């Protein structure tokens, strides 16, 4: 499981005194923990009479849910990088890029632009989309196929380009 891999890498980073990796992995571990706590609240509301063991089992995140958390953290880094570029903060851009590389290790291989275009074209054909008004329909079809594997901004740009042609 991805969570065990992150914990193992955190221990290695601590031994190596790699401060950037330690802080990044602690941050993602914290985000995963917060997601589990959100899930715990929902489980307890739905089934208040569960034992502690049953609760622990139900709130444990699947690899897919962990990937969603990591993808969210990656998106935050990319947004920060664009903000820092606008502000001319090259020192912070480098730090965010390094964190981004650490996080990407735990995500599935990213799709290439050509792979994204193929998914978009197939989705446009399947949905029968012809104009920019259909962008929501196409994005609804494309998103599950690219989630965690491609930057949403890139996907949206490609959808607009394909619908614009």
Separation between Cα atoms, residue 131 and residue 160, nearest integer Å: 9
pLDDT tier at 92 (50, 70, 90 boundaries)? Answer: very high
Tens of pLDDT, residue by residue over 66-81, are: 999 998 999 899 999 9
- What is the CATH code for 2-104? 1.10.1510.10
CATH 1.10.10.410 domain position(s) in the chain: 113-164
Question: Could you tell me which residue, 64 or 10, shows the higher pLDDT?
Answer: 10
The position carrying tokens 């920019």 is 132
Coil, strand or helix at 134: helix
Question: Could you tell me which residue, 148 or 121, shows the higher pLDDT?
Answer: 121
Question: Could you tell me which residue, 129 or 83, shows the higher pLDDT?
Answer: 83
Q: What is the pTM of this model?
A: 0.78
Separation between Cα atoms, residue 90 and residue 92, nearest integer Å: 5
Instruction: Tell whether domain 113-164 is in CATH 1.10.10.410.
Output: yes
pLDDT (0 to 100) of residue 96: 94
pLDDT (0 to 100) of residue 102: 96
Which residue from 154, 161, 120 is spatially nearest to 137, judged by alpha carbons? 120
Arithmetic mean of pLDDT, 75-95: 92
Separation between Cα atoms, residue 132 and residue 127, nearest integer Å: 13
Tens of pLDDT, residue by residue over 123-163, are: 988 888 788 888 888 999 998 888 878 888 889 999 999 88
CATH 1.10.1510.10 domain position(s) in the chain: 2-104
Q: Answer positive or negative: Cα dihedral of 40, 45, 48, 50.
A: negative
Given a cut of 80, whether residue 165 has pLDDT beyond it is no
Helices of type H across the chain: 2-16, 19-46, 52-59, 63-87, 90-104, 113-127, 135-146, 152-164
The mean pLDDT value of the chain amounts to 91
Tens of pLDDT, residue by residue over 1-33, are: 899 999 999 999 999 999 999 999 999 999 999
């Amino acid at each position: 499981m991805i969570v065990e891999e992150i914990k193992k890498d955190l221990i290695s980073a601590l031994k190596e005194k790699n401060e950037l990796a330690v802080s990044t992995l602690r941050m993602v571990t914290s985000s995963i923990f917060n997601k589990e706590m959100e899930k715990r609240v929902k489980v307890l509301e739905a089934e208040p009479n569960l034992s502690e063991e049953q609760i622990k089992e139900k709130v444990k995140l699947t690899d897919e849910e962990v990937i969603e958390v990591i993808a969210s953290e990656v998106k935050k880094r990319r947004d920060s990088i664009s903000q820092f570029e606008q502000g001319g903060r090259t020192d912070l851009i480098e730090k965010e890029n390094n964190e981004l590389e650490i996080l990407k290790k735990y995500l599935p291989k990213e799709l290439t632009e050509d792979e994204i275009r193929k998914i978009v074209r197939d989705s446009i054909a399947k949905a029968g989309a012809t104009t920019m008004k259909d962008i929501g329909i196409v994005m609804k079809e494309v998103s599950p196929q690219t989630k965690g594997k491609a930057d949403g901004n890139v996907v949206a740009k490609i959808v607009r380009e394909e619908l614009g042609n």
